[in-house]
């Protein structure tokens, strides 16, 4: 006996796949990518010390992701290999954030369009730091391969809308690192009854002031705590006690 055939319109198929991917991404902890005075800052809520959501792709290019770890980790590795091959075959200056964002868009778009495959439950950000602040670029890639060129910052995963609203109220590309980090941490904690602990933050940056060709560096938990903890007030010297006068 043959099985009955069910017809699903292409529009409904696309909607169902998009809803499936969005639900998986929304379950992930949020990531903030924002410009600041000396480069681009990555702040992710991630209690794991070994499974990173933020990483380096190439000399001046960083990567951030939310969603299923195995899926965005495979995309990260593919991006590193693609960048290395292009830089080796041509020139290191030919490896750009825009080029890698376009490559990721093609891969994600192909997977999303393939009915026989499950869509990737990921959202990515590719950021490149320029020689000058005007050269900084942040690209946000959705699960279906669509690309958005973000001007100053982007928020992915979790309560992205609430976090983006809180971040937008005080964001300024000219902020120093400490203030930019505190603003991102405050925004990530916007929908929480308690602020996120310092040890649950993964922080990295593309540092324009770094002299090495590779601008990516990761901040340790101790460095994050030093930047986020309020400066201790200087202790006031105690007034000297009056010495007792000898009897006349």
One-letter-per-residue 3-state SS of 99-135: HHHHHHHHHHHHHHHCCCCCCCCEEEEEEECCCCHHH
Percentage above 90 pLDDT, the chain: 76
Look at residue 11 in the predicted model and tell me its pLDDT.
86
CA distance 116 to 26: 23
Predicted confidence band of residue 248 (pLDDT cuts 50, 70, 90): very low
Q: What is the pLDDT of residues 52-76, one digit of tens each?
A: 999 999 999 999 999 999 999 999 9
How many helices (H) and strands (E) in the chain? 6, 10
Q: What is the CATH code of the structural domain delimited by 24-228? A: 3.60.20.10
Helix (H) or strand (E) holding 204: strand 201-207
* 62: exposed, middle or buried (Cβ count in 10 Å: 0-12, 13-18, 19+): buried
Residue 7 has pLDDT above 80, yes or no: no
CA distance 150 to 168: 13
Residue 242 has pLDDT above 60, yes or no: no
Residue 81's SS3 state is: helix
Residue 35 has pLDDT above 80, yes or no: yes
Using CA atoms, how far residue 67 sits from 41, 120, 207, in Å, is 20, 9, 26
Residue 176 has pLDDT above 50, yes or no: yes
Least confident of 89-98, 152-161, 229-238: 229-238
Residue 232 has pLDDT above 80, yes or no: no
- Identify the CA nearest to 67 among candidates 36, 111, 34, 98: 111
Mean pLDDT of 178-185: 96
Least confident of 4-8, 81-85, 97-101, 197-201: 4-8
Give CA angle at 96 (91, 98), nearest 5°.
145
Average pLDDT score over the chain = 90
Mean pLDDT of 158-168: 91
Look at residue 229 in the predicted model and tell me its pLDDT.
84
């Amino acid at each position: 006996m043959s099985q009955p055939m069910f017809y699903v319109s292409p529009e409904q198929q696309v909607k169902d796949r998009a809803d499936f991917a969005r639900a998986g991404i929304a379950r992930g902890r949020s990531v903030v990518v924002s410009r600041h005075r000396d480069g681009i800052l990555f702040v992710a809520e991630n209690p794991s010390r070994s499974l990173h959501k933020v990483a380096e792709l190439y000399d001046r290019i960083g990567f951030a992701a939310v969603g299923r770890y195995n899926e965005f980790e495979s995309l990260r590795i593919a991006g590193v290999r693609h960048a290395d091959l292009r830089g080796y075959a041509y020139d290191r200056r030919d490896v750009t954030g825009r080029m890698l964002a376009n490559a990721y868009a093609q891969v994600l778009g192909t997977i999303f369009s393939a009915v026989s495959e499950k869509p990737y439950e990921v959202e990515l950000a590719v950021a490149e730091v320029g020689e000058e602040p005007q050269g900084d670029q942040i690209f946000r890639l959705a699960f279906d391969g669509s690309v958005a060129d973000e001007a100053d910052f982007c928020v992915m995963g979790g309560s992205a809308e609430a976090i983006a609203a809180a971040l937008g109220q005080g964001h300024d590309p000219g902020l120093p690192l400490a203030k930019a980090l505190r603003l991102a941490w405050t925004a990530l904690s916007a929908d929480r009854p308690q602020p996120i602990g310092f040890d649950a933050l993964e922080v990295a940056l593309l540092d324009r002031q770094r002299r090495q060709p590779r601008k990516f560096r990761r901040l340790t938990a101790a460095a994050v705590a030093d930047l986020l903890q309020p400066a201790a007030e200087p202790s006031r010297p105690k007034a000297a006690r009056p010495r007792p006068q000898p009897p006349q």
